[in-house]
């Protein structure tokens, strides 16, 4: 891609006068270079050098710019903390960079909010101010290389390119064969984020201890009242998931070391004890119930107690694979020796309640509006479960949703017959009948059918599990990481074929700054000749840009052009 306009490659020795004048490619290169050095020092065990490099990184202008961009481009950018301050203009973001200083820094209390959980309960969140979020993002840049380099191989939550599907894949590896472990310890930590011991974090998290202590003890404000925080890391902070991961790191490696020391290498291997963790949820496999109850669980309880945590007596249990167990919304069970992984009943019931509430809450809505509300829900649920044996669950859910929509349709026309209602709200599409849809006017002036997402039409695809040793800050894994990024970006775009073509034509890079397009950065579809000026929707008139690069172009600073074919 070719860029024309004012030069952006200004030196980064001082903050730019214009937010749009930042050379983001240079910023990312500087930050990543420092992170690679931190990770290398971590692998070599040079802890004094790690701290020196972390201190250097958090004081660089590149890291501060990167941190401010992160908190102003994510979904929480429009949610203010207790100071009600938002950085919603280029000038406010530029000034925010100058405020990211260690000297005199004092975080404000968190704003307490509650969000509903799938089980009907509420999850407490602590919302920091944007300034505190940016400080957390800044120090997270220095902590992440350490956390990644010391993480357990089979820890999958809140880590680069790792997902629940990878955790599921590892359980399949550990338990699907005839000679695999047949017992599993389903572990649940009681209020993990709320009970992590502050003293343990300050002693063991390799980052600026003074800054960490201030965050942990900032307190929170709920209904106008200040509440002190004596334990835990607040859910809602950018750095909190990484702190929780660091707290539980070692669960896999240290347990393996304990078993090897007690039983010897050969016997320990025969015990088939494997840990699979996603954030604070984990399962541990074993060759027998006895080894999990008498040896593994007591060790786990001791490991957690040192960190101020404990297992939930109600939710922690040892189960045989023939009886099955639930993990991350899936049910793992063997039938006649063959493992079957399906959406769990609890997950399906919670999803159906959400869909039913959406339909019931929109009795008077237009059919098109209801479809637009339901399609993201249906597609999201189907996509999450497409990596397991979900065809039966899809068909069952599709039938339940159809029944709910049929009652919705009949209720709107009590004086009409069933045939009339069917012809109005349901259609036949190819070999599919009873398709809930409505005819709409397309952009080209023709007609098209806006239809409900077909759950049963979702293709099942078992993913390739990420390699446990992958480290995004190790140059040796650079090519593997790039292949993973492009593969998973294409997976997220696969329902938008034109975006896939644009992504491939740009080699997965932003057309303006030439930096990687990722799930974290997101992307915008930019028209080279604006549609209001007669620009077409053809691929030749479109490119993919980062959101901040898109803002830069529309601010009039730069123009983007397609390369001339050679």
pLDDT at residue number 27:
93
DSSP 311: B
User: Please, which pLDDT band fits residue 2 given cuts at 50, 70 and 90?
Assistant: very low
**Listed residue (235, 239, 229, 232) closest to 207, CA to CA:** 239
Segment 67-82 mean pLDDT: 88
pLDDT tens readout for residues 220-249: 988 888 888 888 887 778 999 999 999 999
Q: What is the CA radius of gyration of the chain?
A: 26
| 1 pLDDT above the threshold of 60 | no
pLDDT at residue number 444:
67
pLDDT at residue number 20:
84
Residues 6+ apart with CB under 8 A from 485: 161, 508, 516, 518
Segment 417-446 mean pLDDT: 89
Higher pLDDT, 207 or 504: 207
pLDDT tens readout for residues 539-557: 888 999 988 888 888 877 5
Give 484-549 as a DSSP string.
Answer: HHHHHHHHHHTT-HHHHHHHHHTTTB-TTT-PBP-TTT--EEEESS-GGGT---SGGGEEEE-HHH
Element (H, E) at 315: none
**Listed residue (150, 158, 147, 143) closest to 58, CA to CA:** 143
Mean pLDDT, the chain, whole residue set: 90
Higher pLDDT, 552 or 467: 467
pLDDT at residue number 487:
85
| 566 pLDDT above the threshold of 70 | no
**11 burial level (CB within 10 Å; 0-12, 13-18, 19+):** exposed
**Listed residue (538, 540, 558, 541) closest to 549, CA to CA:** 558
Residues 6+ apart with CB under 8 A from 447: 439, 440, 441
Assigned token pair, 86? 């938002």
Q: What is d(CA 344, CA 211) in angstroms, rounded to the nearest whole number?
A: 42
pLDDT at residue number 564:
41
User: Please, which pLDDT band fits residue 120 given cuts at 50, 70 and 90?
Assistant: low
Within 10 angstroms of residue 60's Cβ, the number of other Cβ atoms is 18
pLDDT at residue number 352:
97
Q: Give me the domains of the chain, ranges plus CATH numbers.
A: 19-150+203-230 (no CATH), 151-196+236-340 (3.30.70), 345-451 (1.10.357), 475-555 (1.10.30)
User: Please, which pLDDT band fits residue 3 given cuts at 50, 70 and 90?
Assistant: very low
pLDDT tens readout for residues 151-186: 999 999 999 889 999 999 999 999 999 999 999 999
pLDDT at residue number 416:
94
Residues 6+ apart with CB under 8 A from 223: none
Q: Name the E strands within 246-294.
A: 274-278, 281-286
pLDDT at residue number 558:
65
Q: What are phi and psi of 488, to 5 degrees?
A: -80, -30
| 203 pLDDT above the threshold of 60 | yes
pLDDT at residue number 65:
95
Share of the chain above pLDDT 70, in %: 94
| 21 pLDDT above the threshold of 70 | yes
Q: How many residues does the chain have?
A: 566
Segment 119-123 mean pLDDT: 71
Q: What is d(CA 164, CA 168) in angstroms, rounded to the nearest whole number?
A: 6
pLDDT at residue number 464:
85
Secondary structure tally for the chain: helices H, strands E: 21, 18
pLDDT at residue number 379:
95
Residue whose token pair is 């959101």: 547
| 289 pLDDT above the threshold of 70 | yes
Ranges 113-127, 325-339, 444-458, most confident: 325-339
pLDDT at residue number 400:
97
| 6 pLDDT above the threshold of 50 | no
Residue whose token pair is 């990184």: 57
| 508 pLDDT above the threshold of 50 | yes
Helices (H), 99-224: 130-150, 164-175, 192-195, 198-204, 209-216
Within 10 angstroms of residue 114's Cβ, the number of other Cβ atoms is 11
Q: Cβ distance 279 to 158 under 8 Å?
A: yes
| 7 pLDDT above the threshold of 50 | no
pLDDT tens readout for residues 511-543: 888 888 887 788 888 888 887 777 788 888 899
Q: What is d(CA 65, CA 12) in angstroms, rounded to the nearest whole number?
A: 10
């Amino acid at each position: 891609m070719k860029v024309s306009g004012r030069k952006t490659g200004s030196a980064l020795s001082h903050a730019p006068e214009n937010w749009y004048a930042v050379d983001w490619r240079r910023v990312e290169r500087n930050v990543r270079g420092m992170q690679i050095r931190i990770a290398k020092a971590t692998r070599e065990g040079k802890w004094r050098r790690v701290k020196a490099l972390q201190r250097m990184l958090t004081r660089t202008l590149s890291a501060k710019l990167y941190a401010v961009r992160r908190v102003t481009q994510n979904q929480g950018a429009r949610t203010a903390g207790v100071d009600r301050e938002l950085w919603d203009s280029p000038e406010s973001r530029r000034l925010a960079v100058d405020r990211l200083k260690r000297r005199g820094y004092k975080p404000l209390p968190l704003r307490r909010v509650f969000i509903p959980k799938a089980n009907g309960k509420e999850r407490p969140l602590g919302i920091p101010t944007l300034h505190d979020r940016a400080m957390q993002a800044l120090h997270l840049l220095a902590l992440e290389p350490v956390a990644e380099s010391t993480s357990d191989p089979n820890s999958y939550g809140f880590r680069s390119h790792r997902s629940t599907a990878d955790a599921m894949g590892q359980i399949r590896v550990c338990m699907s064969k005839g000679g695999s472990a047949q017992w599993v310890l389903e572990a649940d930590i009681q209020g993990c984020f709320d009970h992590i011991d502050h003293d343990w974090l300050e002693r063991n998290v390799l980052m600026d201890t003074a800054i960490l202590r201030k965050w942990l003890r900032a307190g929170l404000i709920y209904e106008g009242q200040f509440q002190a925080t004596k334990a835990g890391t607040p859910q809602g902070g950018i750095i909190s998931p990484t702190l929780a991961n660091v707290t539980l790191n070692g669960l896999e490696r240290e347990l393996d070391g304990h078993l090897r020391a007690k039983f010897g290498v050969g016997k320990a291997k025969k015990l088939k004890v494997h840990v699979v963790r996603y954030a604070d949820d984990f399962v541990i496999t074993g060759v027998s119930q006895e080894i999990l109850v008498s040896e593994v669980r007591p060790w786990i309880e001791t490991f957690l107690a040192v960190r101020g945590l404990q297992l939930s007596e109600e939710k922690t249990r040892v189960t045989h694979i023939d009886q099955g167990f639930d993990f991350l919304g899936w049910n793992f069970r063997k039938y006649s020796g063959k493992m079957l992984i399906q959406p769990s009943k609890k997950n399906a019931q919670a999803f159906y309640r959400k869909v039913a509430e959406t339909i019931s809450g929109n009795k008077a809505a237009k059919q098109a509006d209801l479809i637009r509300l339901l399609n993201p829900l249906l597609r999201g649920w189907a996509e999450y479960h497409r990596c397991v044996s979900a065809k039966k669950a899809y068909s069952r859910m599709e039938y339940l949703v159809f029944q709910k929509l049929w009652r919705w349709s009949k209720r709107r026309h009590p004086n009409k017959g069933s045939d009339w209602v069917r012809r109005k709200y349901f259609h036949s599409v190819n070999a599919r009948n009873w398709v809930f849809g409505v005819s709409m006017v397309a952009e080209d002036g023709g007609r098209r059918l806006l239809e409900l997402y077909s759950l049963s039409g979702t293709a099942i695809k078992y993913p390739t599990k990420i390699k446990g040793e992958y480290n995004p800050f190790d140059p040796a894994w650079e090519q593997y990481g790039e292949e993973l990024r492009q593969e998973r970006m294409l997976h997220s775009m696969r329902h938008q074929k034109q975006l896939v073509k644009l992504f491939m034509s740009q080699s997965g890079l932003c057309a303006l700054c030439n930096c990687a397009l990722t799930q974290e950065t997101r992307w915008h579809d930019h028209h080279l000749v604006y549609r209001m000026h007669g620009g077409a929707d053809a691929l030749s008139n479109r490119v993919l840009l980062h959101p901040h690069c898109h803002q830069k172009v529309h601010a009039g600073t730069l123009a983007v052009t397609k390369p001339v074919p050679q």
